[in-house]
Amino acid sequence: MIAIIDDVLAPEELQEILTHFDRADFVDGKKTAGWHAKLVKNNMQLPSKATSTQELRKQVKEALIRNKLFQALVQPKIVHSLLFSRYEVGMSYGTHVDNAFMGKGEFWRSDISFTLFLCEPEGYEGGELVIEASDGDRAYKLPSGSALVYPSSTLHRVNPVTAGVRFAAVGWVQSLVRDPDKREILFDLDTTRRSLFAKGGKTIEFDLISKSYANLLRQWAD
């Protein structure tokens, strides 16, 4: 499932991150790319081990954890390997697939990828995130503070930036539920039971759907 989540970050959180970027030293993004992705990756990133980067990661993770739509969509077990990227004019990230496992010393599965857009789309030209699929490419350029979540198994790319600067945070999720079809079933059930509760409160229908939701999650989680 590909989904857009609006307003993951509050305006003051966005401003804090962008203010940090103004004084930060970015490094070559190839340092965190796999051996084949290095061939097509051309961007800059915040140094992964810097204390300030760790603080920004914590801030973004906390924002994702409190976002109910993100929780319902991806069923996160762990949000990991968060990177902050900068694309200047001429920079891009060619077609690639994300590694199945990430982490040094620990192996976290990448079930879901997400891109959190950190600047307004009118502030740069090009730089669309493109998800490639058998029925055609889909390009995304979201408002600042909004996130796109998509399967890590997809081929995707970032088109060349032709004007301005593009800032984004990218990360990955190891889900409690590995199978994307099962995650979608759980999301549909959760959406339905919340709608029923909003309309009629705690009814027998709500209880039965909640029972099915909980039992399927119990059965499918790993």
Q: What is the 3-state secondary structure (H, E, C) of 47-105?
A: CCCCHHHHHHHHHHHHHHHCCHHHHHHHCEEEEEEEEEEEECCCCEEEEECCCCEECCC
Q: What is the CATH number of the domain that holds 98?
A: 2.60.120.620
Matching residue, tokens 């027998």:
204
Give the closest residue to 167 by CA, choosing from 121, 220, 113, 98: 121
Give the closest residue to 80 by CA, choosing from 40, 48, 51, 34: 48
Question: 3-state DSSP call for residue 102?
Answer: strand
Q: How many CB atoms within 10 Å of residue 121?
A: 17
Tell whether 124 and 194 lie within a shared domain: no
For each of the chain's 222 residues, which pLDDT tens digit applies?
999 999 999 999 999 999 999 999 999 999 888 888 899 999 999 998 899 999 999 999 999 999 999 999 999 999 999 999 999 999 999 999 999 999 877 889 999 999 999 999 999 999 999 999 999 999 999 999 999 999 999 999 999 999 999 999 999 999 999 999 999 999 999 999 999 999 999 999 999 999 999 999 999 999
Tell me phi and psi for residue 127, to 5 degrees: 70, 20
Tell whether 164 and 201 lie within a shared domain: no
Tell whether 203 and 136 lie within a shared domain: no
Tell whether 121 and 16 lie within a shared domain: yes
20 is in an annotated binding site: no
Q: How many CB atoms within 10 Å of residue 204?
A: 7
Q: The tokens of 111 are what? A: 């079930």
80 is in an annotated binding site: no
Give the closest residue to 148 by CA, choosing from 198, 102, 111, 114: 114
Tell whether 12 and 97 lie within a shared domain: yes
Tell whether 111 and 7 lie within a shared domain: yes
Total number of domains constituting the chain: 2
Q: How many CB atoms within 10 Å of residue 51?
A: 7
Tell whether 166 and 199 lie within a shared domain: no
| Per-residue pLDDT tens over the stretch 30-87 | 988 888 889 999 999 999 889 999 999 999 999 999 999 999 999 999 999 999 999 9
Q: Which residues form the domain of 216?
A: 180-220
Cα first-last separation, the chain: 19
86 is in an annotated binding site: no
Question: Which run of H or of E encompasses 168?
Answer: strand 166-175
Cβ-contact 170, 44 below 8 angstroms: no
Tell whether 120 and 195 lie within a shared domain: no
Distance CA 93, CA 95 (A): 7
Q: The tokens of 21 are what? A: 């970027």
Tell whether 190 and 168 lie within a shared domain: no
Tell whether 14 and 92 lie within a shared domain: yes
Tell whether 64 and 171 lie within a shared domain: yes
Distance CA 85, CA 167 (A): 6
- Give the global pTM: 0.94
98 is in an annotated binding site: yes
Matching residue, tokens 């994300």:
98
